[in-house]
Each structure stands twice: as C-alpha cells, then as structure tokens.
Amino acid sequence: MKPEQDDLFEQEVEALIKEIHTQYGYDFSGYARASVYRRIKRFLGQKHLHSIDDLRKHLFTDSFFFENFLQEITVNVTEMFRDPTFYKSLRENVLPILSTYPFIKVWDAGCSTGEELFSLAILLEEEGLLGRTKIYATDINQKVLRQAKEGIFSATQVAAYTSAYYAAGGKRDFVTYYTSNYGSVKFDSSLVRNVVFYPHNLATDSSFNEFHLIVCRNVLIYFNRALQDRVFNLFDESLVDLGYLALGKKETLVMSGINDRYDFVDKSNRIYRKNS
Amino acid sequence: MHGTSSRLIVIGGSWGGIQASMKILRALPADYPFPVVLVLHRLRNYEGNLQELYEKKLALKAVEIDDKAPLEAGHLYIAPANYHVLLEKDHTFSLDDSELENYSRPSIDVTFTSAADVFGKNTVGILLSGASKDGSSGLKHIFDKRGTAIVQHPGEAEIAIMPLAAINSTPGCRIMNIEGIQAYLLTLHEH
C-alpha cells in the first residue's frame, strides 16, 4: 500500500471501531493498533473481502459473521501448560501459600478456549486444592467460553501438551485426565466442577469479586498502555491483600501505576504478589 | 511519544543467523544512534537465553523485548521466543501470540512488515542466513516503502535458502557480505 492508502485504511478502521461499539457494544478503542490492523488485514484476506467497506456490510447485517470476526480479532491461540516453568513456579511458589486459606478464589481472565483453565485445574487437583477452589473463568467472547466448558481439544496437540505437562512438574500419567475420540480429546469434566464461566469484557466491565490469584496471560499484549492501566487497576481492586497476579512472560507492571504495590515472586515468569 | 529515533534497523535470520548477526553487531558502538531489532527463529519453548549471549559480546545494550517497551538508540532488541513482534506508531513494541507465520513465531515477515509501516523509508531491513522463506515478503514490503532492503550474500551465508528467496522476491535489494553490512551500518547518521 502507498502511504496515502495506509492512512485511508487506518481512518476507515477507526470509523469501524466506533461503529462496532455503537452497534454491538464491543469497545476496541483501547486495543493495540499494530495488532488490530494486522488482524483486520488477515481477516479480509481469509474472507476474500477487498475493502473495509465490504467488511462493514457483512458485519452489520449478519451477527453470525460478527461473532466470527470477534473471534478472529481477539486472538484465541492458546495451549496447555504454555511456558512449563511458569506452571512449575506456580505449583512450587504460589499454591503452597494458597493452601493455607480455607477457601480459594481464582480468576482466569481471558480464558479463551480453556487450555489454560484446564492446566490450572490439573495443577490444583494434584496439589489437593481443587475441591476448595472456585475458579471464575471469563472471556469477552461467549463462543470460546462454550468451548472452554466442553474441554475438547485437538488430538494433534496432545503429544506437545503431554511433554509440557511433565516439564511443569506433572505428578500423574497425563492420559488419565482425558478420553480420546475421533481426532479430539475430551478432558475430565470433574476438573471444572467448581468453575463458573462468565462473559466479562476487560475493556469495559468492572470488578465483580475478590480473588487470591488472578491469572491473565498474553491478553494484555493486545491492549494499548491506557487500557492496560485500566485493567491493572481492575485487577488491583479484585485482589485480596497478599494476593497473586500472574501475567504472560513478556508482560510487565513496570510502566503501570500499581507497580509499587507489587513484588516479584518469580521475575522471569512474571508472577507478582500484592504487598499491601 | 516515547521514541524519537529517526531510523530503525531490523535484522532477521534463521539457521546460521546467530553467528552472522553477532559478527555484524559487534561492529556497532554503545552510542550507536539507532535502535536495532533482531528476529531469529528458534525452537518453541526453548528457554535458552539469547539475551545473555549477546549481552556478553556486544557494546550495544542487549534486551529481550517486553510488551510496550519504548525503542531507544544503542539498544539491541531481541524478539522473545513464542511471540511475534510488532511496532506501534509511538515507537513502542506490541507483542502478539497469534498463529505461526511461515511455521515460525517470531516471524521475520511480521516484524519487517510492521517496521516498514511505522518507519517507511527510514527502515533498514537485513536478512541473513537461514533455511526458511520467512522474511522475503517482509523485506519486499520494506523495499516497496522505499526503505533499505539488504540481503546477506548467499555465497557467504551458512544456509542460502533465506537470502535466495529474498533476492528472488525483491530483485532490487542490495546484496552484501558481512563486512559490507557492517560498513554500511556505520555510515548511517541522524538526519
């Protein structure tokens, strides 16, 4: 694209973001632009659309198409036990402290299709804590929440998940957690017996409970600094004193307004603890 | 506005890319006036530390990229494993963990394309040795935006697949050996 075409594309996307907010109530104004432009160009290519105008026509006449768009724009690529050292650290440094509480509340914010949720549930189960833990699993997207509830994942990933599980300090035989069926695996639904699935939009919704642990990994990378600050404040309000916050490996509180109130539990895995 | 850098140097490579990039970057002084971004393919979930490797050997300050970190001159920004690296108009980084591109994350195409969108003609893209075609379309995008597109001489590259693919898709690119790239980077000044 020539520079003036780029400018036009960007102006059209800005107008589209406003229109989506008005029509559907989803607010993307605080999303990181480099990523939004890339996702939209990619979506146009997939759907063989040639302009933002073509995209508009579909988005505002077909709510099924919009749901599809929402799923593509909000990245839902995820895996079980991503960064095994993170899960190992959570098991060794955080769960022993959480076990001192009679009842544990965890928020998995931006749980997407559930791979992270099931990984957390397996960890809690193996540490004997799942029975007295309530996990709130939230996402902006209702479609992925339905998938998360099912716990059905592609069998092609299982070998990778199995080695990540053991690297994360897994204590059992991984196959005991799922049953295989026609190219997919279904995880034991008792793992999510104490999970509440709940649509929640980090960009616009407020705090709804108090938690001992909030896990929000690789969600905030898609937000700009201002929206990240909003979400960090939301997490701060939602954490008990001495509660834990787990971010993605390359996400940081350092530029946020709440940084002073948090200490590192594990710097390389970005696990923080609220110090007051 | 965080960064005020007038230019951006982006380097991509795969097999043989560590050694080639190390040789080039050792020529740059601590007060080099531009930021340099390095995207190398590596094994997924590989925990080995590239940052430490470069930190020991370079005058530039080598850092692994954190989300929303601002670009600063004299820094070498290394793409972290398992993330794509994008650039924002305010000269900060955005990370992205979406689908692999060219079987890779980080993908060189993703970063080259994003760099050219922000820095336009002030982008210097350098594609080194590798056994992949990743980087070709990104380098072409840099060239199309009137930036500088440089490819390591295929005869010198440890694996020539990546340079050859780029030369094929961007015939107007400059083909240079390591010494030539070092010398070129040292001629660049603030304008």
CATH number of the CATH domain containing B51: 3.40.50.180
CB contact B55 to A (< 8 Å): no
Please give the residue range of the domain that contains residue A27.
3-73
Average pLDDT over residues A36-46: 96
Q: Chain A interface residues facing chain B, Cβ-Cβ under 8 Å?
A: 3, 6, 32-35, 37-39, 75, 77, 82-85, 164, 218, 220-222, 224-225, 228, 248-252, 254-255
A65 and A88 belong to one structural domain: no
What token pair was written down for A126?
Answer: 């193996």
In a domain, A182, yes or no: yes
In a domain, A51, yes or no: yes
A147 and A60 belong to one structural domain: no
Interchain CB distance below 8 Å, A77 and B98: yes
In a domain, B23, yes or no: yes
> Which of B47, B96, B118 lies closest to A35 in CB terms?
B96
In a domain, B60, yes or no: yes
Listed residues A73, A101, A134: the one ending a domain: A73
Cα A103 from Cα A223, distance rounded (Å): 32
3-state helix, strand, coil in chain B (%, to 5): 30, 25, 45
Q: Rounded mean pLDDT of chain A?
A: 95
Per-residue model confidence as pLDDT tens digits over A152-192 = 999 999 999 999 999 999 999 999 999 998 899 999 999 99
> Do B60 and B28 touch, CB atoms closer than 8 A?
yes
Chain A: give the shortest CA distance to residue B122, in Å. Answer: 13
| pLDDT of res. B2 | 46
In a domain, A79, yes or no: no
| pLDDT of res. B148 | 98
A54 and A116 belong to one structural domain: no
Write the CA distances from A7 to A4, A33, A147, A236, B115, integer angstroms: 5, 13, 38, 38, 16
Interchain CB distance below 8 Å, B66 and A251: yes
| pLDDT of res. B3 | 47
In a domain, B17, yes or no: yes
Name the residue in chain A with its Cα closest to that of B118.
A34
Q: Give phi and psi for A236, each to the nearest 5.
A: -60, -45
CATH of the domain at A134: 3.40.50.150
A162 and A216 belong to one structural domain: yes
Indicate if the pLDDT at residue A1 is higher than 70: no
Per-residue model confidence as pLDDT tens digits over A113-144 = 999 999 999 999 999 999 999 999 999 999 99
- Residues from chain A that touch B92, judged by Cβ atoms under 8 A, are 225
A266 and A197 belong to one structural domain: yes
A101 and A217 belong to one structural domain: yes
In a domain, B1, yes or no: no
Give the residue among A121, A135, A49 at the shortest CA–CA distance from A91: A121
Per-residue model confidence as pLDDT tens digits over A203-252 = 999 999 999 999 999 999 999 999 999 999 999 999 999 999 999 999 99
Listed residues A73, A99, A116: the one ending a domain: A73
In a domain, B95, yes or no: yes
Please give the residue range of the domain that contains residue B97.
8-187
Look up the pTM and report it. 0.94
Q: Which of the four pLDDT bands, split at 50, 70 and 90, describes residue A6?
A: confident
Listed residues A51, A73, A95: the one ending a domain: A73
Q: How many CB atoms sit inside 10 A of residue A147's CB?
A: 20
pLDDT along chain B (191 residues), means of 10: 74 95 97 97 68 95 97 97 96 96 96 97 97 97 98 97 98 98 93 59
Q: How many domains does the structure of chain A reveal?
A: 2
| pLDDT of res. A54 | 95
Mutation site for A-interface testing, chosen from B43, B96, B99, B122 by largest number of A Cβ within 10 Å: B96
Quickly list DSSP for B21-57: HHHHHTTS-TT-SS-EEEEE---TT----HHHHHHHH
Give the residue among A146, A181, A163, A178 at the shortest CA–CA distance from A76: A146
Residue B46 vs residue A59, higher pLDDT: A59
| pLDDT of res. B43 | 59
CB contact B65 to A (< 8 Å): yes
Q: Which of the four pLDDT bands, split at 50, 70 and 90, describes residue A7?
A: confident
- Residues from chain A that touch B45, judged by Cβ atoms under 8 A, are 82-84, 164
Per-residue model confidence as pLDDT tens digits over A66-116 = 999 999 999 989 999 999 999 999 999 999 999 999 999 999 999 999 999
Indicate if the pLDDT at residue A15 is higher than 60: yes
| pLDDT of res. B1 | 42
| pLDDT of res. B158 | 95
A56 and A123 belong to one structural domain: no
Q: How many domains does the structure of chain B reveal?
A: 1
| pLDDT of res. B42 | 78
ipTM over 0.90: yes
